[in-house]
Amino acid sequence: MKFCIISDIHGSAAAFKKCEEAFLREKADYLVLCGDYLNHGPRNPIPVGYDPQALAPMINAWKLKIMGVRGNCDSEVDQMLLEFPCTSDYLIFFTGKRRCFVTHGHLYTEGNRPPLQKGDLFISGHTHVPVLKEEDGLIHLNPGSPSLPKEGSEPSYAMITPDGVFLKKLDGTLISSMKL
C-alpha cells in the first residue's frame, strides 16, 4: 500500500488542491493527515488560498481514504465540518511489519514519544519543517507543510510505500528518501 502523508494545511484550499494532485500522481491508497486542517492559527500568517469553507468539502471528498489526527489549531467545530474522525491525538497503522505512530506533534514529540520499538515510524507535523531521519532505531518523519512551510523549507508532503519513505516538494521533486 501507498500512504500520502500531509500536515498543516491551515485552511489553504489552494495548497490542498496541489496535495490532491500529488495524491493522484503518486497513486496513493490512503491519505494520512497530521492535523491543523481548517484554521490558520493565531501564530501563523493567513496562507495563500485561505478558504476553510471551500476546503472542508474538498477534504470531505476523500473521507473514505483519510486517516487523521487532531492538531493544536483544530477544534470541535472542525469535526462538525469534516466528515471523518479527526479529534484523536494519535493513530496507529501498519505498513508491512512496521508500526506507524501518527500524531500532530504538539503533545507527543521527539522528546516525548510513546513507547515505540526499533524500526517503528514516528510521524508528526506541527513544526512545518520536513524531516526524515533515523535515530535510536526509530524513523522520524515530518511531511512539512503544503501551505506554510517554515525555516526556509518549501511546500511538501511525504509518501510511505513498500519501497521506502520519501519526502517530496508539492511538484513531486524528491527532497530525501529512506529504504524500509
- For the chain (180 residues), the mean pLDDT of every run of 10, in chain order, is 98 98 99 98 94 98 98 95 97 96 96 94 98 96 99 98 97 97
Closest residue by Cα to residue 160 from 137, 138, 141, 134: 141
Amino acid letter for position 99:
R
Domain at 3-178: CATH code: 3.60.21.10
User: Could you tell me the end-to-end alpha-carbon distance of the chain, in angstroms, rounded to an integer?
Assistant: 13
CB 126 within 8 A of CB 103: no
In this prediction, residue 92 carries a pLDDT of: 98
CB 125 within 8 A of CB 119: no
Domain chopping of the chain, boundaries: 3-178
- Is the CA virtual torsion 64, 11, 173, 149 positive or negative? negative
> Tell me, what DSSP letter sits at residue 44?
S
Angle, helices 13-26/52-60, rounded to nearest 10 degrees: 20
In this prediction, residue 115 carries a pLDDT of: 94
What distance in Å separates the CA atoms of residue 52 and residue 89, rounded to the nearest whole number? 22
